[in-house]
Amino acid sequence: MKAKTSQKNKAIKLRKQGYSYSEIQKKVQVSQSSLSLWLNTIKLSNKQKDRLTRKGDKARKLGSASLKKSRILKTRDIIKKSSSEIKNINKENLMLIGTILYWAEGSKQKEHNPSKEVIFTNSDPKMIRIYLRWLKECLGVSGDRLVFEIYIHRTYKRSKEDLKLHWSTLTGIPISNFEKVYFKKNKVLSYRKNRGSEYGGVLRIKVRKSTDLNRKITGWVQGICLQSGVV
């Protein structure tokens, strides 16, 4: 009983000095419920309250930063592991990958417009490189049949020369192949994080004289659907 009284007196003294419950528990080994019972009538000064508020904010920020770091490390580990599960992409695999990419991002043949050429538009450099590899290795499309055009809103205020260099560096395509740059005049409301020098708009890749090729791609897409049991 004497020990309990001593702990209570020590806890009260620390609380009057402005210590938080968690700080007191490090010095007085009692339960949270005991502290609440002993200390609930003790009033803190505004200065002491401000200190505890700042301490709490700092602890929350540190906790949030630690949690974020943990998520980043976990994400990297998962991505690294799943990345290693993809092995030996052969020409047949590339054929399917390219067809599905075009299905998602390419211009489609329509009943009302059955003469559409092969046109692919995207802003992801890696996706574009895979698409170009598909054109070359699976479809036999030579580089002289490709037309590269850049589209970007005026909001980003980048010169044509800068944009051509940007895409040439990312794709490995010579600057001379980027013939046209189009600046869109309308305002854009975007939540992009890379709105500065890292963003170069979208790249539009057109294959000359490719109406029949687009029709073939339409057939390949239908074949994928049939073989996947999707009618």
pLDDT digits (tens, 9 = 90+) for 207-230: 999 999 999 999 999 999 999 998
Q: How far apart are the first and last CA of the chain?
A: 80
> Is there a single domain that holds both residue 104 and residue 18?
no
Angle between helices 125-137 and 91-105 (to 10 degrees): 120
* β-pair partners for 153: 184
What counts of helices (H) and strands (E) characterise the chain? 8, 4
Same domain, 138 and 212: yes
Number of domains in the chain: 2
User: In terms of domains, do 149 and 216 share one?
Assistant: yes
Residue ranges, the chain, pLDDT below 70: 1-3, 111-113, 186-197
Is 64 among the domain residues?
Answer: no
Per the domain annotation, does 63 fall within a domain?
no
Q: What is the pLDDT of residue 188?
A: 54
Four-residue CA torsion sign, 53, 55, 59, 61: positive
Q: 120 and 221 share a domain?
A: yes
Which pLDDT score, from 0 to 100, does residue 153 have? 86
SS3 state of residue 182 = strand
pLDDT for residue 100: 97
pLDDT for 107 equals: 92
- Which residue carries 């004289």 as its tokens? 209
Structural domain containing residue 183: 91-227
* Cα–Cα distances in angstroms (integers) from residue 189 to residues 29, 146, 155, 200, in the given order: 56, 31, 10, 16
- Structure confidence at residue 191 (pLDDT): 52
Please tell me the predicted confidence (pLDDT) of residue 20: 87
In a domain, 95, yes or no: yes
- The per-residue pLDDT for 49 is 85
